[in-house]
Structure 1
Amino acid sequence: MPNWPTLRRRRLARELAKLRDSIAMTIEEAATRAGISPSHLSRVERALVGVRVPVVRALLATYGTSPSVTATLLEVAQTASQRGWWHRYAGSIPDEYATYIGFESDAARIWNFELISIPGLMQTEGYTRAVLQGGLARLTEDEIERRVEVRLRRQALLHREDPPALWVVLDEAAVRRQVGGRETMAEQMNHLVSIAGLPHVDVQVLPFTAGAHPGTPGAFVVLGFTDPADRDVVYIETMAGDLYPEGDVDVERAVQAFDRLRAMALGPDESVSMIQKVSREFA
C-alpha cells in the first residue's frame, strides 16, 4: 500500500517536532529513548512516513507531555492511521493523486483556477470519461472506469453536512473547449450551473477579453483548513508530475494570484449567465 500523507499526519509531525524542540532534545536522543532509529524519527517529523500509536506514546513520555496533550495527540495519531475511502483504489490511481484527495477531504476551503478544463469536483460522468480518453496516459477501459468512479466519489464532499467552501475561477477556454461532443458539453454546462447554485460554491468565468492574467502558466488549487496552525496546501498538476510547493513565498504567490484572478473575472451572476448561454449554443 502506498504511503499517502494526510493533514492529520502533517499535524502530528509538526507537534512532535515542536515538543522535542521545546526541551532541546536532539533527534538521536529522542529516537534512542523511544526505541526507534533517528532516521525514522526524522521522517516522522517531516510527515514522510506514518507512525504507530505505541511509538507516539513512547515519544510523548520521553518529552514529558501533560495528560491532556498526550490524550489529544494520541487521538490524532489514531485518526492519522485510519484509511480514507480512496485507499481501496491503490494501484488504480497515481500516488500523488491519492495524496491530493486526502488533503481535499480535510479542506475547509478550496480555491481552484482552471485554464483548460472543468474542475474534477464539478465534472459530469460523460465529461470525465472524455477527458480521460483524451489524456496523455494511455488508459485501458477498466482503468478509465475506475478513475471515473474515483472522481465521482470525490464529489460527495460537496454534499456532506459540512462541505468545504469551494471557489472556482474558470478561464473562458475551459467553458468553451468542446470535450466529448456537443451533448456532453451541454450536459456539463447545465451541471456547472446547478453546482454554482449551492450556497457554499462560487463560480466565476475569466473572459477572453480580460487579456493576460496571473493564471496563464496553468491551473492550480489552494486548500485551506479549519485549524489556523495547518498551513495552506498548494497543488499544481504538471506533465512532469504533481507539485506541492511548501515555501511561504510560493503559497503566498498562489493566494495572491487567485485573488487577482477572481478580481479580473466576471461576477458570479454574470458568470452563470455566460455558462447558460454557452449551454444553449451546445444544445
Structure 2
Amino acid sequence: MPLPTSPVIRRARLGAELRQLRRRETLTLEQVCDRLGWASTSKLSRIELGQSRPDLADVLDLLDVYQVPPSQRDALIVIARDAATSRGWWKALGEMGVRQRTYAELEAGAAGIVEYQPCVVPGLLQTSAYARLRIAAGQLIDPEVDVESDLRARSARHAVLRRIEPPHYTALITRAACERAGDPVEVWREQVRHLLDLTELPHVTVRLLPNGSEVGPLPLTPYSCYSFPDPADPRTVMLEALTTDVRLTTATDVDRYERMTHRLLEAALPEQETAQVLAGWLDG
C-alpha cells in the first residue's frame, strides 16, 4: 500500500506556506525571532527551507504571530504533523543512509516519477548484480561506502514499483548507459532482460535516447522529477551529485526541468521501439 505523504515534501510545503505568511505580514526573520524569543534566525530559516523537522509548538507560535485564521490554521497543523513525523517512515524504509532515505521518501509518496540517466540504468530498475557493481565502484571515490547496506536499501526501494497503487514511472535513459561497457556479460544480459520485463508493467515506461546529434545537447547530470497526489504539495526535482544531492522545489526551477523532460520525451525512441532494441541486444 502507498505510504502517507512524505515528510520531506510536507516540510517543504510547510516551509513555503510559513514563509508566505511571514512576508504577507511584512515581517523579517529577525522580527519574528525577536517576538518569539528565539536566539537566532537560523531556526526559522531552516523551517522555512524545509531543512529541519518542525516542532509543533514552534509552528503554533508562528501561526499566532502571523494571525492565521482558524480554517487555514487547522490545515497547516495537519501539514506540520505530517512534516514532524518519522515513525511510520523509519519502520517502512528500514535502515537507510540519508541520501537513500530522501529518495525513498519521495518515491513512496509520489504519484508520478520521471528519471533521466545519462550514464547508468536508474536505481529503481537495477538488478542486484548490476547494482552491486555500481555501488562497489563508488568505493573507489568513497571508501566509507557499505556495499551490502546500500544494496539492501536499494532493493527495499524497488518495492515501490510492485505495490498495489504504484506511481506512474518513466525512465529516459541514454542508449550508451544501457549498452555493455565492461560489465560481465551475464550481469549485463540479466539487466537488459530485467528492463524488458519491467516494460510489461502498465505503470512503467522505459525509453531510450538514441546516440547522435539529432537528440541535441543532453543534461550532464542525472535528475528525477516527482509529482504527488495532493497538487498543493510541491513538485520536486532531485539532481544527483557526487557527494550531496540537490533538491529543487521552486516553480521556476521545476518548470525548467519539466521543459527539458518534454524535449527528451520528444527525442526518445517510442516504447515499442525501445523494447525492440533491448530484445535485439539479447538476441545478438
TM-score by length of 1: 0.84
% identical aligned pairs: 30
User: Given the alignment, which residue of 6, 9, 21 partners 1:7?
Assistant: 9
Equivalence map 1:61-80=2 (5 Å): 61-80=64-83
Aligned amino acid, residue 199 of structure 1: P
Tell me how far apart the structure 1 counterparts of residues 273 and 51 of structure 2 sit (CA, whole Å): 44
Counterparts in 2 of 1:179 and 1:107: CA distance versus 1, 3 Å: farther
Tell me how far apart the structure 2 counterparts of residues 214 and 127 of structure 1 sit (CA, whole Å): 28
Corresponding residue of 1:27: 29
Write out per-residue CA displacement over residues 142-189 of structure 1, whole angstroms, 9 at most, x where no aligned residue: 810100011111111112233221111111112212464121122211
User: Contact 1:130 / 1:179 at 8 angstroms: preserved in 2?
Assistant: no
Tell me how far apart the structure 1 counterparts of residues 188 and 280 of structure 2 sit (CA, whole Å): 12
Runs of 4+ that moved beyond 6 A? none
User: Contact 2:118 / 2:222 at 8 angstroms: preserved in 1?
Assistant: yes
Corresponding residue of 2:260: 257
Counterparts in 2 of 1:70 and 1:231: CA distance versus 1, 3 Å: closer
- Greater CA drift, 122-131 or 98-107: 98-107
Counterparts in 2 of 1:253 and 1:177: CA distance versus 1, 3 Å: farther
Corresponding residue of 1:275: 278
Corresponding residue of 2:3: none
- Greater CA drift, 192-201 or 16-25: 16-25
Corresponding residue of 2:57: 54
Stretches of structure 2 lacking an aligned partner (at least 5 in a row):
1-5
User: Contact 1:31 / 1:37 at 8 angstroms: preserved in 2?
Assistant: yes
Tell me how far apart the structure 1 counterparts of residues 34 and 99 of structure 2 sit (CA, whole Å): 33
User: Contact 1:109 / 1:165 at 8 angstroms: preserved in 2?
Assistant: yes
**Aligned pair count?**
274
Corresponding residue of 1:89: 95
CA drift of 1:26 comes to: 3.6
User: Contact 1:222 / 1:235 at 8 angstroms: preserved in 2?
Assistant: yes
Tell me how far apart the structure 2 counterparts of residues 88 and 7 of structure 1 sit (CA, whole Å): 19
Counterparts in 2 of 1:87 and 1:109: CA distance versus 1, 3 Å: closer
Tell me how far apart the structure 2 counterparts of residues 241 and 24 of structure 1 sit (CA, whole Å): 34
1:219 aligns with 2:205: no
Corresponding residue of 1:112: 115
Tell me how far apart the structure 2 counterparts of residues 106 and 127 of structure 1 sit (CA, whole Å): 26
CA drift of 1:247 comes to: 5.9
Tell me how far apart the structure 2 counterparts of residues 139 and 126 of structure 1 sit (CA, whole Å): 20
Corresponding residue of 1:137: 141
1:190 aligns with 2:193: yes
Tell me how far apart the structure 2 counterparts of residues 220 and 260 of structure 1 sit (CA, whole Å): 14
Tell me how far apart the structure 2 counterparts of residues 153 and 267 of structure 1 sit (CA, whole Å): 30
User: Given the alignment, which residue of 33, 45, 49 partners 2:48?
Assistant: 45
Counterparts in 2 of 1:5 and 1:72: CA distance versus 1, 3 Å: closer
Corresponding residue of 1:203: 206
TM-score by length of 2: 0.84
Counterparts in 2 of 1:121 and 1:64: CA distance versus 1, 3 Å: same
SS at match of 2:16: helix
Write out per-residue CA displacement over residues 117-148 of structure 1, whole angstroms, 9 at most, x where no aligned residue: 111011111111011122343557x8101000
Tell me how far apart the structure 2 counterparts of residues 26 and 216 of structure 1 sit (CA, whole Å): 38
User: Contact 1:112 / 1:222 at 8 angstroms: preserved in 2?
Assistant: yes
